[in-house]
Amino acid sequence: MPNLDEIMKMAQEVQAEMQKAQDNLDKIEVEGAAGGGLVKVRATAKGRILGVEIDESLLQPSEKSMVEDLVTAAINDAKTKADAAAGPEMQKMTSGIPLPPGFKLPF
């Protein structure tokens, strides 16, 4: 059984690896789309929105509620893709850490 110093050192290593993984997630870009690509949202795998692109054909007052729905759908699509991109990155990070069975990160 590891002593307290070893446990603390392992915890610090896990924390450092988690920070590296979080930093890496902010470098991975995904694009969510809605309306057949009329609305696009770029985001990082960490979930930070980088930009929104709206096709000019939607920029009419009569299309306001549809544009709002498409922006919402594109953001949700980007979030889904960000989560999917984050999964493998987090798996890579945790593969070298000796965790008890069933232990999940982040804490």
Residue 50 lies in a domain: yes
Query: Given this model, what pLDDT does residue 96 score?
Result: 62
Residue 4 lies in a domain: no
Tell me if 12 is assigned to some domain.
Answer: no
In a domain, 8, yes or no: no
Range of the domain at 50: 23-94
Q: Is residue 33 part of a domain?
A: yes
Can you give the pLDDT of all 107 residues of the chain as single tens digits?
667 888 888 888 888 888 887 888 888 899 999 999 999 999 988 888 999 999 999 899 998 999 999 999 999 999 899 888 888 877 776 666 665 566 555 54
In a domain, 5, yes or no: no
Which pLDDT score is estimated for 33? 94
Q: Within a domain: residue 30?
A: yes
Q: What is the CATH number of the domain that holds 85?
A: 3.30.1310.10
Helix (H, G, I), strand (E, B) or coil at 32: strand
Separation CA 107–CA 99 (nearest Å): 12
- Count how many domains the chain has: 1
3-state secondary structure 38-93: CEEEEEECCCCEEEEEECHHHCCHHHHHHHHHHHHHHHHHHHHHHHHHHHHHHHHH
Helix (H), strand (E) at residue 33: strand 29-34
Q: Is residue 51 part of a domain?
A: yes
